[in-house]
Amino acid sequence: MRAIGKTGIIMAAVLTAVSTQAASAASAKRESFGKLPDGTAIEAVTLTGTNGVSARIMTLGATLQSLYAPDRNGKMADITLGYDDAASYASAPNFWGQTIGRYANRIAGGRFVLDGKTYQLPLNDKTNTLHGGTVGFDKLVWKIASVTNGAQAKVVMTLTSPAGDQGYPGTLAAKVTYALDDQGALTIDFDATSDAPTIVNMTNHALFDLAGEGSATGIYGQRLTIPARRYTPVNATLIPTGELKPVAGTVFDFTKGRALSDGIRDGRDPQIVIGHGWDHNFVLDKGATPEPGLAARVEDPASGRVLEVLTTEPGVQFYSGNFLDGSLIGKSGHVYRMGDGLALEPQKFPDTPNQPAFGSARVDPGKPYHHRMIYRVSVAR
């Protein structure tokens, strides 16, 4: 047999390393995702890890359009609510996986004061502004800046919001980065810079059903944990009262885990009556942190799927899908009804610009905004 020289051994080692790296690399695929009713072309990028977890992100709203995860038997299912085509997101809009901005959640009266000047935003939630306004970031078409493969498969999307957009001051340059690794962690980075003082609070608004979207059982049999000893009660229009109320002894206590069927119909709690279920901000025990910390954990005992949500922000809005009324037909022809999905939206507290005790949502020139959150899926054995 012919001997292999030193050069041949080195080359073989290099080829083996390259082959191993390629086999373990997450991948990103860019493709068309149809058109809006006005003819605007929409693209999507699908990120796939070697463990089979995949996330599709479309340019309309920089939206997490799907997230596929395995159950304990390896069966894959899309665990996010939404539509099968881009046009439906425009013609029958809802908050299903979109990037939310400029300001996620509610601002009382659609007004805030910055440096002595009052700014008025559109009122799109009765007497309040919700999720940025009538035409928030969720309804705009973002630009794909880059797509990369590797240890993490990534897509970067950008958007410029001009001064005065929806009433907000300052021209805002926004960027969202989705990065999926091979362990089932989808990291989302929200970044923004402004040329004038403004307010920013960005998040993702995916609705999840760990049994698989459109499942017959919905979310009621699933178990939620939120490491928060306090929450922010709301008034009749879902604006925080300013109180940080202890969860102990109430149906808002998720510190040790709680089945979602336990409390969602408890009419003895006036906050459940106001929200038609849970639609409240929880004050995370960890507070705001430089690195993402746990905000929530959901487990579906039937499938074994687990979702953990991590964030650098101090709060998380838990919304139990209270306003799904069967009028919207989602993926695979599924009719979505109350309890068919839940949202866990890491954020600054609602109405922070009007409630100084909640902190600050201010962004100044030269002081960029950054929020990192993670959706991490796994299986409980």
The arithmetic mean of pLDDT across residues 163-181, rounded, is 98
- Position 24 confidence tier, pLDDT thresholds 50, 70, 90: low
The residue to which tokens 């962690």 are assigned: 185
**Domain range summary for the chain, segments of one domain joined by +:** 27-379
In percent, the amount of the chain with pLDDT more than 70 equals 94
| Res 320: pLDDT | 96
In whole angstroms, what is the distance from residue 233 CA to residue 338 CA? 22
pLDDT tops 80 at residue 2: no
| Res 1: pLDDT | 39
In whole angstroms, what is the distance from residue 59 CA to residue 346 CA? 21
The arithmetic mean of pLDDT across residues 48-66, rounded, is 97
Helix (H) or strand (E) holding 154: strand 153-161
User: Which of 131, 280, 345, 371 is flagged as catalytic?
Assistant: 345
In tens, the pLDDT along 311-327 reads 999 999 999 999 999 99
Instruction: Establish whether 371 is a catalytic residue.
Output: no
The arithmetic mean of pLDDT across residues 40-57, rounded, is 97
Instruction: Establish whether 334 is a catalytic residue.
Output: no
Point out the least confidently predicted range of 13-22, 60-69, 147-156: 13-22
| Res 25: pLDDT | 87
Q: Answer yes or no: are the C-beta atoms of 345 and 132 closer than 8 Å.
A: no
Question: In this structure, how many other beta carbons lie within 10 angstroms of the beta carbon of residue 64?
Answer: 23
Q: Is the peptide bond before 56 cis (omega within 30 degrees of 0)?
A: no
Question: In this structure, how many other beta carbons lie within 10 angstroms of the beta carbon of residue 283?
Answer: 21
> Amino acid identity of 127?
T
Question: In this structure, how many other beta carbons lie within 10 angstroms of the beta carbon of residue 278?
Answer: 24
User: 163: closest CA among 194, 133, 141, 124?
Assistant: 194
Burial (Cβ within 10 Å: 0-12, 13-18, ≥19) of residue 5: exposed
CATH among 3.30.2180.10, 2.70.98.10, 3.90.1150.10, 3.40.640.10 for 27-379: 2.70.98.10
Helix (H) or strand (E) holding 273: helix 270-275
Secondary structure (3-state) at 103? strand
In angstroms, what CA-CA distances link 208 with 1, 82, 149, 265? 60, 10, 26, 20
| Res 318: pLDDT | 98
* Residues in contact with 366: Cβ distance below 8 Å, sequence separation at least 6, in sequence order: none
> Amino acid identity of 180?
L
Helices marked H in 209-321: 270-275
User: Which of 205, 213, 280, 299 is flagged as catalytic?
Assistant: 205
pLDDT tops 70 at residue 5: no
The arithmetic mean of pLDDT across residues 274-289, rounded, is 97
The dihedrals phi and psi of 91, each to the nearest 5 degrees, come to -80, -25
pLDDT tops 80 at residue 22: no
| Res 132: pLDDT | 97
Question: In this structure, how many other beta carbons lie within 10 angstroms of the beta carbon of residue 141?
Answer: 18
The arithmetic mean of pLDDT across residues 341-358, rounded, is 98
| Res 23: pLDDT | 53
Q: What is the mean pLDDT of the chain?
A: 93
| Res 331: pLDDT | 97
pLDDT tops 50 at residue 8: no
The arithmetic mean of pLDDT across residues 1-10, rounded, is 44
| Res 249: pLDDT | 96
| Res 177: pLDDT | 98
Structure tokens at 165: 């957009």
Q: Answer yes or no: are the C-beta atoms of 185 and 374 closer than 8 Å.
A: yes
| Res 381: pLDDT | 76
In tens, the pLDDT along 190-233 reads 999 999 999 999 999 999 999 999 999 999 999 999 999 999 99
Q: Answer yes or no: are the C-beta atoms of 209 and 307 closer than 8 Å.
A: no
In whole angstroms, what is the distance from residue 211 CA to residue 214 CA? 8
Alpha carbon distance, N-terminus to C-terminus of the chain: 50
